[in-house]
Amino acid sequence: MISQRVRTITPSATLSLNARLQELRAKGSEIINLSVGEPDFETPKFIREVAHEAMDSGWTRYTATSGHPEAREAVCEHVQRTRNVTVDPDQVVLSSGVKHSLSQALLSLVNPGDEVLMGAPYWVSYPELVRLADGIPVAVETRIEDGFRLTRESLEKKLTPRTMGIILNEPGNPTGRVSSASEVLELVEFARDNDLWILSDEIYEALIHEGQLNSPFSIDPERVSYISGLSKSFAMTGWRLGWSVSEPKRASAIGRLQSHNAANPCSISQACVSTALSKMDHPELQSMYSAFKARREIVVDRLDKMPGVNFVSPKGAFYIVVDLRAHLGEGKIAADSNEFCLGLLEEFGVAAVPGDAFGTPGCIRLSYARPVEEIEDALDRLSKFLETGSKDS
């Protein structure tokens, strides 16, 4: 009785790991969870205060389905300030998070059988969101040796007459990659030359530890939808607030769809958009950004000392992809990264995500959105696992 569309969705590769993690915790094991995808910080007080005020001053009803004018205007100002593009509030559709914006944009752009390119490693939901829109996800492999750089050449190899669009992600999850201006230009020019649309997921935009964000939207706001939200950059994962900014026709299509399948995102969260976006230099946020940067140094420093471990130092977000191929295979610690992650969890109490979930077998993803003591403890355990292959040996 389940629709064909939903039947084809593969269950999250992290589900079984998470189920086991919960079981182990229920039995009293202390697990360090480096599989997390959210900041371990509270939403800043200055933002929470705005929400309290909003509840008391009538922000409790339906808003316009694409978002309250004040919040949409705040996104326009943010786009002007950070991307140097003038946009109109009609081009902004607020949503219940970036996942939601991506889904609405894909449903508005993809026809059955359309192919959508994405660099691998990719964020786990991209392929499934494309499939849900009846499209075909096409992973374009990138190499750790090239710093996970997505190139025009590799995209060209996957180009077919059915290719309609590309999903880009800056800074990237799981790689933490931040591309240079010329690298981003190359990708936008490829899209231009082949008349493809681009969805640019920039949800980690404030979490840049090295270099600067080069948004594809600044280069071609007609072709690119800029998509972002409050979850990661403001420690507001539970507030469910995202947005897409697109050329007027695309924005109107997304808005029409949303008016029927979701209506407006949470009004109280919308009331916080203006304060959050205009105060990114607030000390509460800045100290969170500095903490992530400091943790990155620790993780990189520690992994550097582990034999047979390969990685690219992440420039943004709060993840690192660790290539463990030297330790995997017959007669080694584990056959593959799924087995490795299970062993790391069962024997050493550390949860990490196997790379298969991101289209990068042989690797694992570690998150450093945990306190320093936990990260250090987890890396000690990982090191021990790599050295001995087991706790008991």
Ligand X SMILES: Cc1ncc(COP(=O)(O)O)c(C=O)c1O
Which residues bind to ligand X, rule: CB under 6 A?
37, 97-99, 123, 169, 173, 201, 203, 229, 231, 237, 242
How far CA 186 is from CA of 54, 90, 195, 202, 335, in Å, comes to 44, 29, 14, 18, 38
Residue 33, SS3? strand
> DSSP assignment of 34-54, as one string?
TT--S-SSPPPHHHHHHHHHH
Can you give the three-state secondary structure of 318-364, one letter per residue? CEEEEECHHHECCCCCECCHHHHHHHHHHHHCEECEEHHHHCCCCEE
- Comparing CB distances to ligand X, the nearer of 97 and 119 is 97
Q: Give the whole-angstrom CA distance, residue 90 versus residue 43.
A: 28
Specify whether the backbone of 362 is left (phi greater than 0), alpha (psi in -120 to 50) or beta: left
**What is the rounded CA–CA span in Å between residue 296 and residue 368?**
7
CB of 279 to ligand X, least distance (A): 19
Q: Which residue, 165 or 349, has its beta carbon nearer to ligand X?
A: 165
Q: To the nearest whole angstrom, how small is the minimum distance from the Cβ of residue 129 to ligand X? A: 10
Q: Which is nearer to ligand X, 234 or 311 (CB)?
A: 234
Task: Please give the C-alpha separations between residue 336 and each of 66, 327, 364, in angstroms, as whole numbers.
Answer: 45, 9, 10
Instruction: Write the DSSP assignment of 111-124 as a string of letters.
Output: PTT-EEEEEES--T
Task: Please tell me the distance from the alpha carbon of residue 87 to that of residue 77, in angstroms, as a whole number.
Answer: 8
In sequence order, the 6+-apart residues with CB closer than 8 A to the CB of 11 are none
Comparing CB distances to ligand X, the nearer of 50 and 227 is 227
> Quick one: 169 or 215, whose CB is closer to ligand X?
169
Nearer to ligand X, 95 or 333 (CB): 95
Sign of CA dihedral 159, 165, 170, 172: negative
Closest to ligand X by CB, 271 vs 334, is 271
Q: Of the two residues 197 and 204, which places its CB atom closer to ligand X in the complex?
A: 204
Whether the ω angle into residue 137 lies within 30 degrees of 0, i.e. cis, is no
Residue number of the CB closest to ligand X reads 97
CB of residue 99 to ligand X, shortest distance in Å: 3
Q: Please, what is the minimum distance in Å from the beta carbon of residue 100 to ligand X?
A: 6
**In the complex, minimum distance from the CB of residue 230 to ligand X, in angstroms, rounded to a whole number:** 7
Of 78 and 327, nearer to ligand X (C-beta) is 78
Q: Please state the closest distance from residue 123 (CB atom) to ligand X, in A.
A: 4
In whole angstroms, the minimum distance from the beta carbon of 156 to ligand X comes to 24
Comparing CB distances to ligand X, the nearer of 263 and 335 is 263
- Least separation in angstroms between residue 153's CB and ligand X is 24
Residues in a beta bridge with 139:
118
CB of 102 to ligand X, least distance (A): 7
Q: At its nearest, how many Å lie between ligand X and the CB of residue 169?
A: 5
What DSSP string runs through 184-201? HHHHHHHHHHTT-EEEEE
In terms of CB distance, is 169 or 264 closer to ligand X? Answer: 169
Residue type, 157: K
Query: Which runs of consecutive H residues, i.e. helices, occur in the chain?
Result: 4-7, 15-26, 45-56, 69-83, 98-109, 125-132, 152-158, 181-193, 216-219, 248-261, 267-271, 273-278, 283-304, 337-348, 372-388
Cis peptide before 121 (omega within 30 of 0): yes
Bridge partners, residue 353, by sequence:
365
For residue 172, the minimal CB distance to ligand X (Å) is 7
d(C-alpha 236, C-alpha 232), whole Å: 6
